[in-house]
Structure 1
């Protein structure tokens, strides 16, 4: 059984940990590899390498730094099939979903190649006679990313290309559930002829996370995960003087008005709820119909029932398993909780039987109708293929319900009314808004926003926020005395 190693200072090195965790295919329970639990000593080795590299990397002109990103983009594109297969094997999502993930990752590499322009400062001449003032952007130093299991390829690339293009060095800690994807990426990084130590990767669990949050050599930390852990990472990182951007969980509401297009809306909503088996922070969770809803309810149930579930490398499959057996147990218990609270089960996917994959962590599409709007299930991020379907009389009540949500990652509306769409865009309390869109995922040029308990920090991943996060500003006020200035 392969035991995964860390990538430090341009070399593959064994962890100092003595314990390892199995990396399991969630569809078959096959053990794919073993990943080290990690130690603070591993963190220290990566930070030392990154600090040594930073001294010279920050001096390299931005135009030369991005040449490595151009090369990385080409390598990712050339190896996208193998990288996508790896994601499917270790995370369970379908091959099509895995490949789409890499398209978004590569998009961020492309965007970061514009750093020579994006990183420019400001200049004001003669703020006073003979005195000029200007602002420049400089890199922070060693930056780190703590990545989740659900997007093992894309999410590190919300941060990595911007960080190194701005002149920082970077340490990645992939989720111990899905470490193979970034291991493959590091194999490509090793082909870049990048200066040793600019990019490092370490494996591990909580002790490694704490080591990263406490290490004085790490200046900034990027995190994506549950809200509880995001709050912990933000608090502990900030207490240790670090910049932190911590993306948390969500309970994304989708409003369907009676004037919405039936076929388009139901297809998009079903794709949004069940894509990646519901294990994404932009998955639609609570579907709110406003006014007449019988036709929408019937269509949602029918389409959900038809969605095929199975092993993600099977081209006919539309939805894979959840990540672990514990996740399956948790989601099933939340479905039961919804029923106990008074919800009506329109579609039950708890007893999924997939031929050839009987040991897999499969839950088929599930729909619970009329859950209590202020019950436990309505406020809990399920992170599984479960649609909560509720019916509300007016758009005013629907928006009020959306804004009462403790999360604020995404909110969407389906309507043919520009008036209602504009009102929703203006009043909905969420960082990413979708109008006739089921997954409001920003492209690389825009920040991946999040409000309330869905985000802890000030600057998000991607776009101009990434430039702000990975640089610090320096203001210079200078005077060059000349004889002629004394005449004025």
Structure 2
């Protein structure tokens, strides 16, 4: 069993709070490591050191900061397979999915290389009588990122690269469920030339989050996660005078018209609904066919595709469709929602609750699940399931389908 460490002032540091969380291997169900949960004092100390490091970093011109991003991107590419394997081991997603996770974050680092142009201000001569107008882009100071378990590389890189290249220091609090990759990225940033203290990776739970939100030195907070936590963080951050950008949950719909290419629609639904075990904010979890014939044909096409999906541990090969859910709590929640769908009257076309894989009986797997005749009053429609579950809601017209989508409390993505 390994112990994950914080990344403070350019080195790995053991936690001092005495509190830890388990890190699972989702495929086997075993606890493979433990991660320290930082105290308020640890957050405050890391922030104070970041504030000192930021002063010198802000004085480095954008061209030199961009060069650090260039080197950082090259190192991420060099260690792509190592990052992906670690990510898959803690999260459970397939290796191609894990490499895509890293790649999407890398693309943001590439955007950050354009800092010399992106950070330019603007100037207008004679904006009014005797008035010239100009704007300047300056770093805030110390900012924080609080990131979710489902993209352990992509979303931390989304947060850190733009913030750091703009001259800020960052406190990154990654998910305690998938903590290793963010520390590995911090090590690569140091190797790329980032000064010690500019990026601090501190693991933790609600105590660490509250410490970030209450710390007067931290000027801004970025968050991705569930809607209730997004609302909590946004409210507390704003109450403390911080800038806040908080992304919450989603319930993505696909409307299928009667004249659609049904084969392509079915293929798209399977990929978007079951990829990454449904643990992504852009997963299509609701199919909305227009017309009963369209709905019947869609079910007819989906069933054989779902039956062919290959589910297993990331070590089983590159041709896997998806792996386990991240924790036993996540698995149990998804199974409970499937049961609620049955109890509330939906038609269970494919049931993944009893899925079991030889040699991995204790893994957090849920088989591909398909519901038909789902209605908006059901929990499986109202809640973000975050699992390999696709629900079909039948409608009689395009107007009815559109109204259904628009009335849902969640947003994010809709396709037709």
Shorter-chain TM-score bucket reads: over 0.9
* Matching of residue 406 in structure 1 with residue 406 in structure 2: no
Aligned to 2:107: 107
> How much does 1:131 deviate?
4.8
> How much does 1:324 deviate?
1.0
Aligned to 2:351: 348
* Matching of residue 334 in structure 1 with residue 337 in structure 2: yes
- Map Cα deviations across residues 335-354 of structure 1 (whole Å, 9 max, x no partner): 11111111011000110111
Q: Given the superposition, is the C-alpha separation of residues 142 and 352 from structure 1 closer, same or farther in structure 2, using an over 3 Å criterion?
A: same
Q: Given the superposition, is the C-alpha separation of residues 336 and 128 from structure 1 closer, same or farther in structure 2, using an over 3 Å criterion?
A: closer
Q: What does residue range 204-223 of structure 1 map to in structure 2 within 5 Å?
A: 204-223=204-223
Aligned to 1:68: 68
> How much does 1:130 deviate?
6.1
Q: What does residue range 24-173 of structure 1 map to in structure 2 within 5 Å?
A: 24-127=24-127, 131-173=131-173
Could you tell me whether the CA contact under 8 Å between 1:16 and 1:41 is conserved in 2? no
**DSSP-derived class of the 1:137 partner:** coil
**DSSP-derived class of the 1:265 partner:** helix
Q: Which has the larger radius of gyration?
A: 1
> How much does 1:171 deviate?
1.2
Could you tell me whether the CA contact under 8 Å between 1:85 and 1:313 is conserved in 2? no
> How much does 1:128 deviate?
5.6
Could you tell me whether the CA contact under 8 Å between 2:86 and 2:180 is conserved in 1? yes
**DSSP-derived class of the 2:371 partner:** strand
Give structure 2 stretches of 5+ with no counterpart: none
**DSSP-derived class of the 1:387 partner:** strand
Tell me how far apart the structure 2 counterparts of residues 412 and 269 of structure 1 sit (CA, whole Å): 10
Could you tell me whether the CA contact under 8 Å between 2:190 and 2:196 is conserved in 1? no
Q: What does residue range 64-463 of structure 1 map to in structure 2 within 5 Å?
A: 64-127=64-127, 131-291=131-291, 292-293=293-294, 294-315=296-317, 316-413=319-416
Aligned to 1:446: none
- Map Cα deviations across residues 152-172 of structure 1 (whole Å, 9 max, x no partner): 010111121100111111111
TM-score computed with the length of structure 1 as normaliser: 0.83
Could you tell me whether the CA contact under 8 Å between 2:22 and 2:31 is conserved in 1? yes
Greater percentage in helix: 2
> How much does 1:356 deviate?
1.1
Give structure 1 stretches of 5+ with no counterpart: 414-488
Tell me how far apart the structure 2 counterparts of residues 279 and 241 of structure 1 sit (CA, whole Å): 33
Q: How many equivalent pairs are there?
A: 413
Could you tell me whether the CA contact under 8 Å between 2:374 and 2:394 is conserved in 1? no
